[in-house]
Structure 1
Amino acid sequence: MKFEIVAVGKLRNQHFRALTDDYLGRLEHYTPVEELEVRESRLTDRNVSKGLAEEAESLENAASEGAVTIALDERGKHLTSRELARWVDDWMVTGTRYVSFFIGSANGLDANFRKSCRRRLSLSKMTLPHEMARMMLAEQLYRAMSIIRGEPYHR
């Protein structure tokens, strides 16, 4: 199984970049992971809904065909780390090849795109900067794998 973290925009903050890279490197010991960045739409300055639709198309095109799709959204399902680990374990047991997590821009994700994703996941009830969300997702995926393997990190 391969994780894909598909995000709108670049991760520019050097602190978030370093932390995200650290967790992605740790996660690579368990399973392949790829970080894909798509360009933020310039249309959002004039027309947010058109801009979000353009970003949604880019996100969809960046993900692998047939992937389990998960939109990160504050209105999504709230999980514990162990519950996320059960999702990951189920994907591994069923032979899922790709799992794509989508992180939108500061304007979020297009509503139709969000609905089209198989699942919606919230990292917090609070709104998070997309750079922080990317780092937290990488950490939680690493934590999920350590839970599945029975390793001590998750405690």
Structure 2
Amino acid sequence: MGRITIHVHGSPKEKAYNMMLENYQMRLKNRNIKVEYHSNKKSVDAFVADISKTGKLYLLDERGKQYTSTEFANLVGNWSISDQDVNLAIGPVDGWQKFSAISTDHISLSKLTLPHELAAVMLAEQVYRATEIIKGTKYHRD
């Protein structure tokens, strides 16, 4: 069963973002999904190299592929039953332009540019929502 890890380059400076992320981390902890923070003192190259060592890497970027919540739930469901781990990377603050040509998939939460702390909260919520859609709860309404 594949693990899903949300990697954040740097940690949230705003207390509100941190509290929201902690809330979703608690909700996701028994679902083989975790959030990891990486020092923003680490170079972007080293950050990408570290997290791409194991599993499939997806970079969160406004130029990436957009999904509906239901489509994303199908993707998360496939990741969950796969033997391969999945790494979802958010940040750095200057984005992934340097990595736009590498052979990895890019996922977009919005065509808008978002602060990476807000993107981390939004991604954690969407991953949680996906798990609730998979379970068939009433959390998500079409």
Which of the five TM-score ranges fits, normalised by the shorter chain? 0.7 to 0.9
CA offsets 1:48-77 (integer angstroms, 9 cap, x no match): xxxxxx31322321x263311100000000
SS in 2 for 1:72: strand
Task: Determine if contact 1:5/1:101 at 8 Å carries over to the other structure.
Answer: yes
1:106-121 correspondence to structure 2 within 5 Å: 106-112=93-99, 114-116=100-102, 118-121=104-107
| Residue 5 of structure 1: aligned partner | 6
1:121-140 correspondence to structure 2 within 5 Å: 121-140=107-126
Alignment match of 2:45 (pick from 51, 56, 59): 56
Aligned length: 140
Task: Determine if contact 2:8/2:35 at 8 Å carries over to the other structure.
Answer: no
Amino acid at match of 2:82: T
Deviation at 1:127? 0.6
Tell me the distance in 2 between the aligned counterparts of 1:40 and 1:99: 24
| Residue 87 of structure 2: aligned partner | 100
State the 4+ residue runs in structure 1 displaced beyond 6 angstroms: none
Deviation at 1:117? 5.1
Tell me the distance in 2 between the aligned counterparts of 1:154 and 1:115: 35
TM-score by length of 1: 0.81
Alignment match of 2:68 (pick from 80, 84, 100): 80
| Residue 129 of structure 2: aligned partner | 143
The unaligned stretches of length 5 or more in structure 2 are: none
Deviation at 1:103? 1.1
Amino acid at match of 2:90: I
Deviation at 1:24? 1.4
Deviation at 1:108? 0.6
CA offsets 1:99-150 (integer angstroms, 9 cap, x no match): 11111222112423x4335311000111101110000010000001111111
Amino acid at match of 2:63: R
Larger relative helix fraction? 1
Tell me the distance in 1 between the aligned counterparts of 2:87 and 2:120: 13
User: What is the aligned-residue identity percentage?
Assistant: 34
TM-score by length of 2: 0.88
Deviation at 1:86? 0.8
SS in 1 for 2:30: coil
The unaligned stretches of length 5 or more in structure 1 are: 42-53
Structure with greater Cα Rg: 1
